[in-house]
Structure 1
Amino acid sequence: MGRHSATSVASASEPRRRPASWFTKLRAVLAGALVLGVGAAVTVAAWNDSEFAQGTFSASTFGIVGATNGVDFSEHPDAASAAALTFTAPFDAMSPGSTAYAAYSVQTTADSTVGGTVALSAASGNSTGLGQWLTYSVRTIAGADCNATTFAGGDSVATDGTAARTLSSGGSDQVNYCFAITLPVGTPNEAQGTSVDASWTVTATSSS
């Protein structure tokens, strides 16, 4: 019985030992706390910077003007304000075998920022009245002096809107049309006293 009491006293004087698993868990928690602490420090210490970009866009401008003398250009935007071509004699008293000539020049406006093309088309009404006997021919020439000689040396132009000619921007060059209107030999007597108001349209298209 005395031996039993000695054992009990010895047990009471020794410190109690915690299970090893408790220390392992504590160390894991502390290690986790350290990892979290390092992560927070990285986030706080990060540097920031930004770049911005923008663009401004503007539309181009394009237009054409015309002149009957190759010099005095102005706008003739519709049939009501059409330029009156200055034909050579005898445009107002044509007889069989006679031909009248007239020039018309076009260029881009001074504020056109792009170039383009122009194409000529004849009005359907050109074949009414005296027009049913007249022949219409158009050529492009080097200058604005349209006559039998310059017409002969020009380049033929279709009047169905398919023969495009090139124009540069800013009115830096021009296209000179030379019209030749002929009343052919052998035109019948019934053509006497008739007339026609012929017209043409120059349609421009920008290059971009």
Structure 2
Amino acid sequence: MQKKTQKVWAVGAVAAVVGVGGLATLAAWNDSEWIFAGNGDGGPGLGTSTFNVQQNRDAAPPTAASTWDDQEANPGGEVVFTPGALNLTPGDSVYAPVALKTGEGSIAGSLELQQPVEAADLATSAGLWGALTYSVKATETPTACTAATWDAFGTEVIPAGTGFDTAVAPAEQELEANEANIQYYCFEVTLPAGAPGVDGLQGQTAAPAWQFIATSVDAEAAEAVEPAEPATP
């Protein structure tokens, strides 16, 4: 009788061992680890840059109190040419300024002035449009845009005598990031004395609209690109 009891106990012990083994196989501790792209302060760590160009059309170089805004569709912001612009006589030239810069927090970029098109919803006389010529200069030095300053005003962007319908390939002007510099432009529009049929243009009007195409530049990436070493002879 005693031997039978010992045998039953031994079988039970084996079953217990098998049971423990079974639990160890079917169950496990679960753990996982996560990470996220942060900014060092618990906020999102990935995002896009911003690129925004603003304009100012003051008659004098913009001051701290000047208003800068965005005008992204034709006809855009209104520039007013110097007195006499609506009473041109053959040989007259008139002038108008615009200044552009990047906005606060914007990355750097460049500007490229396009040839004019007719301002949206404003009447233009075909004869006067075809007769007028223009020229544009740019500088980063605050300068009034007038007949008196024209000759010394910056660098030529559009050469003198360019017709409104003439295709242009102007040089780009650079804009630094975060309002760091300003490009000042001066527009000269002329009614040439020798324009064909100029005497028949009396009482006509024109409203050209110019577009600046702005393109962003990743300044940090540009600085990271080192010039290639010259080839060894």
TM range, normalised to the smaller chain?
A: 0.5 to 0.7
Q: Any idea what SS the aligned residue of 2:49 has?
A: coil
Choose from 72, 79, 85 the match for 2:74: 79
Structure 1 residues 107-126: aligned runs within 5 Å: 107-112=101-106, 114-125=107-118
Contact 1:140–1:176 (CA under 8 A) maintained in structure 2? yes
C-alpha distance in structure 2 between counterparts of 1:148 and 1:178, whole Å = 10
Scaled by the length of structure 1, the TM-score of the pair is 0.68
Residue in 2 that maps onto 1:207: 217
C-alpha distance in structure 1 between counterparts of 2:117 and 2:72, whole Å = 19
Question: Which residues of structure 1 form unaligned runs of 5+?
Answer: 1-50
Structure 1 residues 149-168: aligned runs within 5 Å: 149-153=148-152, 154-158=154-158, 160=168, 162-168=170-176
Scaled by the length of structure 2, the TM-score of the pair is 0.61
Structure 1 residue 96 corresponds to structure 2 residue 106: no
Contact 1:122–1:200 (CA under 8 A) maintained in structure 2? yes
Q: Any idea what SS the aligned residue of 1:79 has?
A: coil
| C-alpha RMSD over aligned residues | 2.3
Output one character per residue of 1:71-121: Cα deviation in whole Å (capped at 9) or x when no partner: 3211111115x1111210210110011110000001111121x11101111
Q: Identity rate of aligned residues, in percent?
A: 27
Structure with the higher helix share, 1 or 2: 1
Question: Which amino acid in 2 is paired with 1:98?
Answer: D
C-alpha distance in structure 1 between counterparts of 2:178 and 2:169, whole Å = 23
Contact 2:117–2:210 (CA under 8 A) maintained in structure 1? no
Q: Any idea what SS the aligned residue of 1:118 has?
A: strand
Output one character per residue of 1:112-143: Cα deviation in whole Å (capped at 9) or x when no partner: 1x111011112244893412111110001322
Structure 1 residue 60 corresponds to structure 2 residue 53: no
Structure 1 residues 1-208: aligned runs within 5 Å: 55=37, 56-69=45-58, 70=62, 71-80=66-75, 82-112=76-106, 114-125=107-118, 128-141=126-139, 142-153=141-152, 154-158=154-158, 160=168, 162-187=170-195, 188-208=198-218
Bigger radius of gyration among the two: 1
Residue in 1 that maps onto 2:3: none
Which structure 1 residue ranges, 4+ long, deviate > 6 Å from structure 2? none
